Amino acid sequence: MKLVVLSGKGGVGKTLVSVNLTNVLSEFGKIVHLDCDVEEPNSNIFLKRKIDFTENVDIQIPYADSSKCTKCGLCSENCQFGAISVFKTGTVVFESLCHGCGVCSYICPEKAIKEKSKTIGNISFGEKDNIIFGEGVLKIGEPSGVKVIRKLKNKYPDSDIIITDAPPGASCSVVETLKGADYALVITESTPFGLHDMKAVLEIALKMNIKTGVVINRYDENYKETENYLRAENIEIISKIPFIKEIAEIYSVGGLISSKKEYRKIFLEIAEKTGVLKCLNK
Amino acid sequence: MFKQIAVVSGKGGTGKTTVTAALTHLFKNNIPVDCDVDASNLFLLFNPKTEKQYDYYGGKKAYIDINKCSSCGLCAEICRFDAVNINSGEYSVDSYSCEGCGYCVIRCPEKAIELSESRSGEYYISYKEGRFIHGELEPGEETSGGLIAAIRKKAIESADKTDYIIIDGSPGIGCPATSSITGVSYVLIVSEPTLSGFHDLIRIMETTEQFRRKYSVVINKYDINTEITEKIEKYCSDKNIKITGKIPFDKTVMKAVQESNSIINYNSPASEAIKKLYKNITEEIK
């Protein structure tokens, strides 16, 4: 079973839930935990796995061989991203705009455009005590983490239980993270912001035909709108976690709240209600 | 000439929107711009009346005409974005993965594939005491950087008699975040004293430096962990980066959000700290 923890709005408790869920599940069997929030990966601050190996994530980007280039301009005409231009002095690739699609090197009649590797990030792994931890890191200045996420996920495609920490927001990197998931666990908080941003990710999960459930973190019983919305949409509320100062304190120093008995039961309940525990016990 | 101030955070949920909203109440004669197109929460706080709506076409997507397709599979083989799906022998393009490069269009021997414009979001000019500009990305779309550029262009066009454009940026360090800060006069980074907050702060600081923007850091909820707050202060002072504000943890902030109001309109410790922050920033951007 592949369960993805996501949130729309940042800072509502996505990493808190994913790492503690993994921690509790690892008492029962082997868990793969993937941190797909490649712009700001934080899971390992809590899971503290020593990294055993790291691999670079590369894309192929073009460069022009000026001795062969006839400045015909076909490359620039066919590039959809404005990433290659022909000047009097020669043909120039703007690397930050280039998607590495391969159009220009294919279309060049002189075979003057070749490709080279460019590292946009890396993925790394560490294993200890029933947790296989993997994370992707996007290099600073790179625009998109989609390829890093894809490579990270392809490393353990067929593991029994995979818990994934998704990026915030509701754009392409969230979709990439959700591909192939069996369950989307959406975290929100009792505010109009949390409600608004939750709706966007629920819409994506619905379109992708993925089963969903919601955790309301920093639950405030005076704010009824989230529950009213979920009831109307027939979406299951998996857990309500109240605001407790101690949770914030343990989180702030990189601790796992599920190491304490009173909080462990929150995540055990999440594991049961989402079906992931049953899957693990099979 | 107006100045553009971008508020960003790296980590989400550190209080970026709360700080932005407060600053738009304190700076005179400004246009608030919500560039967090995945999660446009500043708009929710303002709740302005929409004047004008624009469609945003971010890019193209490939479409396969199955009547012409001979199922040769070349498109799936050459696509570098894994965007071609095969379902019981039938080929189709996964529009979430397609980046619209057109490689498959050029290579298809049957000329069965076309690129067409795809609508990936919208943006608005609204009004409440002044102009307000924001955008919303269609869920799952990839071109948030382009949409943010379109929003900021609209803000600049509307800013002829304005002194400040105040931008609520996107979280992270990727293209939505960098599109929010490129070309601005000043960047304010909102951080929080947690280990993950500190980790993310370092990455957004490096990103801001790469874009060569003048910036400072504000520590929100600084009293929830004074030890990490001190570490952040030391890290910034070693790099010669100013801490322009320290905002205490204050339950009034949550109350203000639930009442869709700015914290500035309440008498509270957080409100006082933000007023100080405002004074410090005005000194910085003189």
pLDDT tens per residue, chain B (286 residues)?
899 999 999 998 899 999 999 999 999 999 999 999 988 889 988 889 999 999 999 889 999 999 999 999 999 999 999 899 998 889 999 988 899 999 999 999 999 999 999 888 999 999 988 899 999 998 888 778 889 999 999 999 998 889 999 999 998 998 889 999 999 999 999 999 999 999 999 999 999 999 999 999 999 999 999 999 999 999 999 999 999 999 999 989 988 888 888 899 999 999 999 999 999 999 999 8
Q: What's the mean pLDDT in A30-46? A: 96
Do both B109 and B206 map to the same domain? Answer: no
Of A10, A191, A248, nearest to B11 by CB-CB distance is: A10
Whether residue A200 and residue B260 make contact (CB cut-off 8 A), yes or no, is: no
Q: What are phi and psi of A38, to 5 degrees?
A: -75, -15
**Do A93 and A165 have their domain in common?**
no
Chain B contact set for A175 (CB, 8 A): 96-97, 140
Q: Are residues A167 and A48 in the same domain?
A: yes
B173 touches chain A (CB under 8 A): yes
The strand pairing partners of A211, in sequence order, are A183
Global pTM value: 0.91
A68, pLDDT greater than 90: yes
List the beta strands (DSSP E) in chain A.
2-6, 31-35, 53-64, 84-87, 90-93, 113-128, 131-138, 162-165, 183-189, 211-219, 236-242
In the chain, the amino acid numbered B161 is: K
The answer to the question of residue A174 being in a domain is yes
Poorest-pLDDT segment among A47-56, A69-78, A165-174, A209-218: A165-174
> Are residues A233 and A150 part of one domain?
yes
CATH code, domain with B76: 3.30.70.20
Instruction: Based on DSSP, count helices (H) and strands (E) in chain A, helices before strands.
Output: 11, 11
What is the average per-residue pLDDT within A213-241? 96
* pLDDT of A281: 82
Q: Which of B104, B119, B134 is the last residue of a domain?
A: B119
Enter the tokens of residue B286.
């003189």
Are B159 and B21 contained in the same domain? yes
CA-based nearest residue to A200, from A13, A39, A9: A9
Sign of CA dihedral A157, A163, A167, A170: positive
**Are B74 and B198 in a shared domain?**
no
Q: Do A170 and B174 lie within an 8 Å CB cutoff?
A: no
Asked whether the beta carbons of residue B171 and residue A169 sit closer than 8 angstroms, the reply is: yes
3-class SS letters over B108-141: CCCCCEEEEEEEEEEEEEEEECEEEEEEEECCCC
For an interface test with B, which of A60, A140, A177 has the most B Cβ atoms less than 10 Å from its Cβ?
A: A140
Mutation target for A interface from B79, B120, B231, B258: give the one with most A CBs within 10 A.
B258
Decide if B44 and A254 are in contact by the 8 Å CB cutoff: no
Q: Are residues B105 and B164 in the same domain?
A: no
- The alpha carbon of residue A179 is apart from the nearest alpha carbon of chain B, in Å, by 10
The pLDDT assigned to A14 comes to 95
Could you tell me the residue range of the domain that residue B78 belongs to?
60-119
Domain match, B180 and B81 both: no
Alpha-carbon distance B27 to nearest alpha carbon in chain A (angstroms)? 24
Is residue A116 domain-resident?
A: no
Q: What's residue B139's pLDDT?
A: 84
Question: In chain A, what residues touch B142 (CB-CB under 8 Å)?
Answer: 144, 146, 171-172
Which pLDDT tens digit goes with each residue over A164-189? 999 998 888 999 999 999 999 999 99
Question: Max Cα separation, chain A?
Answer: 72
E-state strands within B9-112:
30-34, 49-64, 84-87, 90-93
Single residue among A48, A82, A111 that ends a domain in this structure: A111
Q: What is the pLDDT of residue A158?
A: 77
Output the pLDDT for position A171: 85
Domain boundary among B68, B94, B119: B119
Does the pLDDT of residue A226 top 90, yes or no? yes
User: Domain range spanning residue A84?
Assistant: 66-111
Number of domains chain B contains? 2
Say if residue A202 is in the same domain as residue A230.
yes
Structural domain count, chain A: 2
A202, exposed or middle or buried, with CB in 10 Å at 0-12, 13-18, 19+? buried
Q: What is the share, in percent, of chain A residues with pLDDT greater than 90?
A: 87
